[in-house]
Amino acid sequence: MAKKSGLSVEDVADLRAQLDEGTQPMVWFTAAAVGMEEGRSAKLLAVTDPPEGDFIQVRPTGSKDEMSFSLAELTLEKPPPRKKPATPPPAPPEPPRETEIIHPYVPEAPVKPAAPKPKPAPVEQAPPPPKPAARKPAAKTAVPEVTITLVTTGEGEWSVEVLQGTRRAVRPTPVPPAAVAQASKLLTPEVAEIVEGVLNAARAQQLARVEQLRAELEAAQKALDDLGA
């Protein structure tokens, strides 16, 4: 069968019917297409009236342009796939050339017998240096436990005693109540509260004694006045 050189009137009618059905058929360019490669495909967009001149509108594949062509420039026959050119086989590598190395002849010189080496004189080894005496680890000095005791008689008198371990470092020594009160405030609140309670009781006791002595003094003064001094 002879190859079609372009679209026929029947082909155009069939393409128009496909467009009316909403299908956009494919067409291919012939050798007569101006500015287009033969065998390139295109999508049919419209067939205008009257059918004269370039009345077939297409969009070439890979392009966004809408172009118009005539019947002779388009065909419905899809061109056969192009064959890739055969790649010639690589040329075989050339075999390496053998290089002949010619060594010049050199006459051998007579070998003289080696003279005997003198024996080395014996070396006297020096005695090893004495090792330093190992140091004994210093004995750790234990810190003895210190116990400080405050004692009160309940009448406002206080004394302090210090024990260093089991040895009495400070014998019972009188301490002013004001110093005891000031020192207790630097310790915990519980200690300060206990010391303050003892001091308040001693104050009350001494105040009662002062009142008693004042009454006795007034009675003695009155007796003296009655005697007529």
Q: Can you give the pLDDT at residue 229? A: 61
Q: Among 56, 75, 94, where does a domain finish? A: 75
Considering its fold, how many domains does the chain have in total? 2
Nearest to 195 by CA among 207, 206, 181, 175: 181
- Confirm whether 155 is domain-assigned: yes
Residues of the chain with pLDDT > 90: what percent?
39
- Residue-wise pLDDT for 89-146, tens only, equals 677 676 666 555 555 555 566 556 666 666 666 666 666 766 766 666 656 667 778 8
Q: Can you give the pLDDT at residue 198? A: 87
Domain that holds residue 33: 9-75
- Residue-wise pLDDT for 154-189, tens only, equals 677 889 889 987 788 898 899 898 998 989 889 899
DSSP E strands, the chain: 26-29, 41-47, 56-60, 67-69, 74-75, 146-152, 158-164, 167-175
Q: Is the peptide bond before 118 cis (omega within 30 degrees of 0)?
A: no
- Confirm whether 3 is domain-assigned: no
Q: Among 33, 60, 75, where does a domain finish? A: 75
Nearest to 70 by CA among 58, 60, 79, 80: 58
The average confidence (pLDDT) of the chain is 82
Give the separation between CA 146 and CA 150, rounded to whole angstroms. Answer: 13
Give the separation between CA 26 and CA 188, rounded to whole angstroms. Answer: 103
- Confirm whether 189 is domain-assigned: yes
Nearest to 68 by CA among 41, 39, 45: 45
Q: Can you give the pLDDT at residue 213? A: 94
CA distances from 216 to 103, 122, 155, 204 (A): 148, 117, 21, 18
| DSSP, residue by residue, 193-218 | HHHHHHHHHHHHHHHHHHHHHHHHHH
- Confirm whether 90 is domain-assigned: no
Please report, for the domain that includes residue 44, its CATH number.
Answer: 2.30.30
- Confirm whether 80 is domain-assigned: no
Residue 49 has pLDDT above 50, yes or no: yes
CB 8 within 8 A of CB 80: no
- Confirm whether 106 is domain-assigned: no
- pTM exceeds 0.85: no
* 42's tokens: 């295109």
- Confirm whether 34 is domain-assigned: yes
Q: How many CA atoms lie within 13 A of 118 on its CB side?
A: 3
- Confirm whether 119 is domain-assigned: no
55-72 average pLDDT score:
93
Contacts of 72 (CB under 8 A, 6+ apart): 5, 6, 7, 30, 32
